[in-house]
Chains A and B, each alone.
Chain A
Amino acid sequence: MDDAKDELTPGPETPPGAGTPDKPDEPGAAREPGQTTQPLAVEAIQVASPAAPMVPTTAVPVGKVATPAVIPAPPPAEARLGGSEVRAAYEHPWAIRFCHWLNAIALVVMIGSGLQIFTAFPSFGPKVPEKDLLQVPDAVTLGGWLEGGRHWHFTFMWVFVGTGILYLAYQFASGHYKTVLFRPRDIPGVWPMARHYFFFGPKPPVREQYNPLQKLAYTATVLFGVASVLTGLVLYQPVQFSWLAWLMGGFHLARIWHFAAMCGFLAFIPGHLLMVALHGWSNFASILTGWKKNPEYLSD
């Protein structure tokens, strides 16, 4: 992950020779500022180059696993920039991908088991007389009964909190958070992006890994996570953390805030999944492999 810092800078600012994850000093690894290359399709094939005699003259079959024998030392920059290249960005370091998926699993479990627990008393009012707020369908609950739900909830809370802490620690230690943290300077860009997404307005230029609306959404999920953990701590240990309960207006209100934090996630998840579906495979693959091919912000 030594290369993580290098990858914070968007393409055009990358100094020549900034390196690749595996060969930091590889010549020609970075694009010259202003250099134009033609993005290739996913099945792009490396074409033999006279300036790179070690590259086989036959094309690499599509889908074949590339090995060092097939792809030896890279050719000089001038030989590679003639159209045989793809543009790609290493967007998500391993720690982020790992935390994303494990946290996603934990989040689904926490919501399902949390709804199961909620069905035991689906109200925020008094117990007597009880007025149920809503009937949660069995299909979205996990655990089968109250303690079944509690077992899932109090097991996966460790996964949820653990991946959350690892994620935040990595983001801040590496400086990677700068790509995704919503800051005041992102405010002006929110409305144009929302207008594009929801009202078919013109598409604002894409200059960064995340647009302002994405930063807002992703930063908000971190806040929902922090809120759900703190309110959950109060519900689980209201006596030992009575000062925290007091800050939240008491145990009774903490239960409402805990539910509200879940609603935040429920608002985020469908939009997130829809955007992933709309943006295609290359975009989705980046959260699996870290690499995104031909990211929009690198096009000319």
Chain B
Amino acid sequence: MKTGMEAGQLKSRSRRELLKLTPLVAAGAFLVPSWRDELLDRGVALSDWASGKVFRREHLVPTYPDSELTPLSQFEYNSYDVDEPDLDLDSWTLGVSGLVEKPGEYTLAQIQALPKTVQNTRHVCVEGWDVIANFGGVRLSTFLQHIGADPRAGYVSVECADDYYEVLDMPAALHPQSLLCYEMYGKPLERGHGAPLRFSLPTKLGYKSAKGLTKLAVTNVMKPDHRGYWEDQGYSWYAGL
């Protein structure tokens, strides 16, 4: 603790110490609109990168007893456009293409013939709300194996009945709790929840869990302007939980 000193000496020292704070001026870069957008994009990219780093494929998401389920009536449809897309369920097939050994059209019966998994997991919306819901279907990893998908491929992309689309990273697609879901609460999917087939991805934010799937492709290419419906509006692509 310094006690006595000359006034002039104090002033010069104070000035020197003040100058040491000049690096803080760099924060002003966020006031320049073009720099700001670039910096914020990089900041989110850094966060997404870190989020991918802490992701462990073998780490299971918590599951919950039936007593903790959110009633189906309290699970919002939350569609981007129409709650009930115009889709002929009787003639529906899932078109499979890309880096797979067995491309083609898959019927719901063919998908339902694969081993079934039922789980109570938390669905987290980017808006902040969450529900614990019951999802039934086939593991996405099982289906990918069934169609002979190249597990070294980068992405699984899907398209939906209502023009929604998503691109999912392969590690998340291969997570054991990622489902191609055709049932909720023991009943076939309602149209508003994505009949006849949807993603249920408990390691991702809700908007990755695309509904009303019509096409699925395994690919190494993600076009910058086709990363997912909300992602192309500016939302984070990785969206890991």
Footprint of B on A, CB under 8 Å?
A: 6-11, 14, 18, 20-22, 29-31, 37, 40, 42-46, 60, 64-67, 70-71, 74, 80-81, 84-90, 94, 97-98, 101-102, 105, 117-118, 120-121, 123, 126-130, 146-148, 150-152, 154-158, 236-242, 245-246, 251-252, 255, 285, 288-291, 293, 298
CB of A125 to closest CB in B, whole Å: 9
Q: Which residues from chain B contact A8 at a C-beta distance below 8 Å?
A: 1
A240-B5 contact given A121-B128, A158-B43, CB 8 Å threshold: no
Q: Given the complex, which residues of A lie within 8 Å of B202, measured CB to CB?
A: 239
> Is B73 located at the chain interface by the 8 A CB criterion?
yes
Q: Contacting B241 at CB < 8 Å: which of A30, A154, A240?
A: A240
A-contact 0/1 string along B52-93, CB 8 Å cutoff: 001110010110000000100111100000000000000000
Interface residues on B, range: 35 or more
Q: Which 3 A-B pairs have CB atoms at the shortest separation, nearest pair first?
A: A155-B43, A66-B12, A44-B7
Q: Are A151 and B51 in contact (CB under 8 A)?
A: no
Bound CA span A117–B56, Å: 27
Task: Given A22-B13, A251-B124, A289-B18, verify A154-B2 contact (CB < 8 Å).
Answer: no
Which of B54, B59, B130 touches A251 (beta carbons < 8 Å)? B130
B55 lies within 8 A of A240 (CB) = yes
On whether the beta carbons of A71 and B6 are closer than 8 Å, the reply is yes
Whole-angstrom CA separation of A239 from B70 in the bound complex:
19
Whether B17 lies near A238 (C-beta < 8 A) is: no
CA of A289 to CA of B15, assembled, Å: 7
From DSSP, what is the main secondary structure of chain B's interface residues? mixed
User: Do A298 and B128 form a contact, CB below 8 Å, given A242-B62, A285-B14?
Assistant: no
A60-B8, A87-B3, A128-B73 are known contacts. Are A150 and B21 too (CB-CB below 8 A)? no
Q: How far is the CB of A214 from chain B (nearest CB, A)?
A: 17
Q: Is the CB of B10 within 8 A of A121?
A: no
Q: Identify 4 new A-B residue pairs, CB closer than 8 A, beyond the known A98-B24, A126-B70.
A: A21-B2, A238-B124, A239-B202, A298-B3
How far is A121 from B168 in the complex, measured between Cα atoms in Å? 25
What residue in chain A is nearest B74 (Cβ atoms)? A128
26 contacts between A and B (CB under 8 A): A7-B1, A11-B3, A14-B3, A18-B1, A29-B2, A44-B7, A85-B4, A88-B5, A105-B27, A118-B128, A121-B125, A126-B131, A127-B75, A147-B234, A150-B126, A151-B234, A152-B40, A155-B44, A155-B47, A157-B47, A239-B61, A240-B54, A240-B55, A246-B62, A288-B18, A289-B15
